[in-house]
Every structure is written in C-alpha cells, then in structure tokens.
Amino acid sequence: MIDPYEHIRQNLDIEEVARRYGLEVNRHHKALCLWHADSHPSLSFKKGRYRCFACGASGTALDIVMKLFDLEPLESVKKLNADFGLGLDFKGEYRPDTAKIQEMERQKQLQKAFSD
Ligand SMILES: [Zn+2]
C-alpha cells in the first residue's frame, strides 16, 4: 500500500506547491516566511524542504499546506491529492497514525538535509 506522505514527497515540488498557494518564490528559491513577520524572503527551499534562516522554521510541502489552510496532516494530504491530481485513493483502508508518520518523516528528512 502506498504511503501517501512518501508519495507526496516524491511527486510534488515544494516550490511549485508554495507558488500554487500564493507564495512568491524568487529566483534564489526564497519566499516570505509564513512562521514569522518576514519583510525580506527568509524561507529557503531545498531538496523538498523549507527552512527559515530567521526563525528556524522547517518542514515539508505538507507543513506549508497545514499552516496556510489550518488543516490536520491527513486533511492536507487530501488537499494536495485533489489540487495536484496525485491519484491517491482514500476510500481504501489506509488509516495512518498521522502524527507518528509525520514525525518519522520529519526526522528522516532532517537527517538527509543536513548530512550533505
Ligand atoms: Zn521565519
């Protein structure tokens, strides 16, 4: 069975997600931070993650959707699935422990992002 979080990570470009939902990503791959009152773009996109050099916020496309639309993780997955036509089927029996999966994903990504 497909892990929707993994599926999203592999199939969506975080900058494209950010732009689609109204963030202005400049040619330096930066945008205004959603997590603090930002006047210069501090939010930087790299390898499918964002990181703010001013306030330290970091995460994935999913976190951006959760923040922008005030949604739970699974609801955010469903929104991305609908808006980007990912073709994930939520009528099946997939019942994720969303908090746990997200935390695992976060740790994995953090390790990856800072290991090279
Ligand atoms: Zn910030």
Give pLDDT tens digits for 22-81.
Answer: 999 999 999 999 999 999 999 999 988 999 999 999 999 999 999 999 999 889 999 999
pTM of the model: 0.75
With a cut of 70, say whether residue 97 has pLDDT above it: no
Ligand 1 centroid vs 67 CA: distance in angstroms?
Answer: 13
112 or 76: which leads in pLDDT = 76
C-alpha 72: how far from chain center: 12
Ligand 1 centroid vs 13 CA: distance in angstroms?
Answer: 20
Q: CB neighbours (10 Å) of residue 59?
A: 20
Instruction: Give the CA dihedral 22, 17, 67, 45, nearest 10 degrees.
Output: -100
Edge-to-edge strand ranges of the sheet holding 43-46: 30-31, 43-46, 49-52, 58-59
H/E segment holding residue 77: helix 73-83
Question: For residue 34, what are its two tokens?
Answer: 């959603």
70 or 114: which leads in pLDDT = 70
Ligand 1 centroid vs 101 CA: distance in angstroms?
Answer: 24
Q: Count the domains in the chain.
A: 1
With a cut of 70, say whether residue 91 has pLDDT above it: no
Residue ranges making up the domain that contains 101: 4-113
Sequence-distant (≥ 6) Cβ neighbours of residue 81 within 8 angstroms: 4, 8, 87, 88, 90
Ligand 1 centroid vs 14 CA: distance in angstroms?
Answer: 17
The whole-number pLDDT of residue 5 equals 81
**CATH code, 61:** 3.90.580.10
